[in-house]
Amino acid sequence: MAELLTATQMRMIERAAIETGQVTGLELMERAGRGVVEAIFEEWPELGGSAGRAVVLCGPGNNGGDGFVVARLLREQGWEVEALLFGDPAKLPPDAKVNYERWEGTTSGVADFVQAKIKHPDLSIDALFGTGLTRSIEDQALWEHLWVHDDAEDAWDMRRCGSGTDIVPPRTVAIDLPSGLCSDSGKVLGGAFPQYGRRCARSALTVSFHARKLGHVLGEGPSFCGRLVVKDIGLSLEVDDAEIVKSAERPSSPSFCKTEHAHKYTHGHAFVLTGGVGKTGAARLAARGALRVGAGLVTLGVPPSAQMEVAGQITALMIQRIEGGKDLSETLLDARLNALCLGPGLGLARAQDLVPAALASQRSVVLDADALTAFADETAALLELLHGKCVLTPHGGEFARLFPDIAEKLSAMPGQGPAYSKVDAVRAAAARAGCVVLYKGPDTVIAAPDGQCAVNAAHYERAAPWLATAGSGDVLAGFITGLMARGFPPMCAAVSAAWLHVECARYFGPGLIAEDLPELVPSVFAQPDATAL
Ligand SMILES: NC(=O)C1=CN([C@@H]2O[C@H](COP(=O)(O)OP(=O)(O)OC[C@H]3O[C@@H](n4cnc5c(N)ncnc54)[C@H](O)[C@@H]3O)[C@@H](O)[C@H]2O)[C@@H](O)CC1
Ligand SMILES: Nc1ncnc2c1ncn2[C@@H]1O[C@H](COP(=O)(O)OP(=O)(O)O)[C@@H](O)[C@H]1O
Ligand SMILES: [K+]
């Protein structure tokens, strides 16, 4: 799986390469600068072969050093380039200082930031801060310049609103990260000027190095990065760090495939509990999802009042009358029912009755929606019952009800970096719950109690905004249940299901409704090369 790195991990990788003599820091900086220039001309081929005009904003660290490399390389291609430095040249770190000196062009200071001589440049390059941004920005001139870099902000807003589609967006390029963004959390680090609100440079193109950083995919990160390109700078991909977060991708082992000689019971029997009459649709969606991902059999556990309603709407699914917790415990004496799903449309009272019986059975269990909300006032009781074969699938509201203190830390306004991230929050929740937690959203984060963590980012080329439709979460719960019925371990089931969910939405595109999702599974399974990122 592809790694999503923190700033510290990226530094460790860089340091290891330098200390083992594979490369020098200066050479890495040169490769980074070359990568940025290459990405610019790939993104905007019309700029190639012409002598354009660029403003490069350089910061006081190595991100600024990358900026000076880019300034030099563009000038070597005949561009008119103006470099502006925030900071004291004498205090630049060694590699950045070498590139500042190699640049040989004029460099203005921060006081001139807003008076850059080149107006309306073809390129505005943000090399102020990258992975080293550790605190809020307190220099007013710099703060204001984040706006100048982005001086066609109105154009962005107009495009976002659907008007002015003829407006060419500014060619703003962020080196590594848009300045102001925390590389570990995707949060905008605050500033000392409340009158301006929080501020971050927005870019049309972000060029990062070696691997994506968590801040590119979490929280607000993607809305500031524009298009994200990662350039190889020759660092080894091998990192031996259990802490590293993975990017969700198509599973290879265990695989979605079924073997020739298996029969339906080999693939497990999923059991999805429904709510009462008029509320059974959500569980039926989940059940259909479980069946499509390959559970051998799927049965709906239905209260007597809803039996007729459900029976009239199903074919391959089976039905079993479950009035309450006692019924469920008796039904679960059948050891073949190996994965349960409770929550979608279940109703709070029925959830309070059924969830303890389901958890006591020690089966694989997915708890979603009402099964989580029903325990908002007695989270300690729920936590007591959870075990290692459970997966919790909260959205933001459900997460906050179950883990209020963690949610509060996550939503607090950040000042210092690295800020508390969704990854930190979900890891903490999984450790407390003693089971896998999948926190939904465009940046779905999945963590296990042992610290394993993956992000299923529906951003950039994997954007799937059509998933924001009623019932799509129910299908996700069904996918996880079906995969656990098939024997996928909880973490693998949750990550694979989240990946599949987004791939189904991408396959269909606009107009998607939740009913479509299970029916798209065969098309996604049939694509051997569905991408990981
Ligand atoms: N780590 C690596 O492997 C590589 C790093 N490179 C570049 O180096 C960057 C990281 O360099 P650095 O660690 O020097 O960090 P940065 O250049 O991102 O920033 C660090 C500097 O900014 C200052 N600073 C931080 N927050 C501030 C604030 N709010 N207001 C004012 N000053 C603030 C710090 O005191 C320090 O001087 C990466 O983002 C990337 O662009 C590349 O050269 C290629 C390889
Ligand atoms: N903008 C978005 N981009 C990608 N995925 C999204 C987006 N909005 C919601 N989703 C996904 O859609 C699902 C919605 O689930 P949930 O909030 O439980 O809704 P429901 O209860 O209606 O099913 C989650 O898997 C979530 O990750
Ligand atoms: K930057």
Q: What is the DSSP letter of 435?
A: S
Residues with CB under 5 A from ligand 3 (ion): 126, 174-175, 179
d(C-alpha 457, C-alpha 502), whole Å: 9
Using the atom order of ligand 1, give the atom closest to the CA of residue 183.
39
CA nearest neighbour of 56 among 86, 77, 27, 31? 86
Q: Per the structure block, which two tokens stand in for 461?
A: 């080329």
The alpha carbons of the chain give a radius of gyration, in whole angstroms, of: 26
Mean of pLDDT over the chain: 90
Q: How far is CA 487 from the centre of its chain?
A: 26
More confident residue, 162 or 524: 524
C-beta 462 within 6 A of ligand 2:
no
Q: Whose CA is nearest to atom 12 of ligand 2?
A: 467
What is the distance in A from the centroid of ligand 2 to the CA of 441?
6
Check pLDDT > 50 for residue 170. Answer: yes
Q: Whose CA is nearest to atom 28 of ligand 1?
A: 137
Q: Per the structure block, which two tokens stand in for 86?
A: 């925030």
What tens digit of pLDDT does each residue of 223-232 get?
999 999 999 9
Q: What SS3 string covers 4-48? A: EECHHHHHHHHHHHHHCCCCCHHHHHHHHHHHHHHHHHHHCHHHC
Q: How confident is the model at residue 238 (pLDDT cuts 50, 70, 90)?
A: low
Q: Determine the average pLDDT of the residues in 225-244.
A: 86
Q: What is the ipTM metric for this complex?
A: 0.96
What is the distance in A from the centroid of ligand 3 to the CA of 174?
5
Kindly report the number of other CB atoms within 10 A of residue 22's CB atom: 13
Q: Which residue has the tokens 């089976």?
A: 318
Q: Which of 104-118, 173-187, 289-303 has the lowest mean pLDDT?
A: 104-118
Q: Determine the average pLDDT of the residues in 498-518.
A: 97
Protein residues whose CB sits closer than 6 Å to any atom of ligand 1: 10-11, 14, 28-29, 32, 59-66, 93, 129-137, 175-176, 209, 233
What residue ranges define each of the domains in the chain, with the CATH number in brackets? 3-239 (3.40.50.10260), 248-254+263-525 (3.40.1190.20)
What tens digit of pLDDT does each residue of 396-451 get?
999 999 999 999 999 998 878 899 999 999 999 999 999 999 999 999 999 999 99
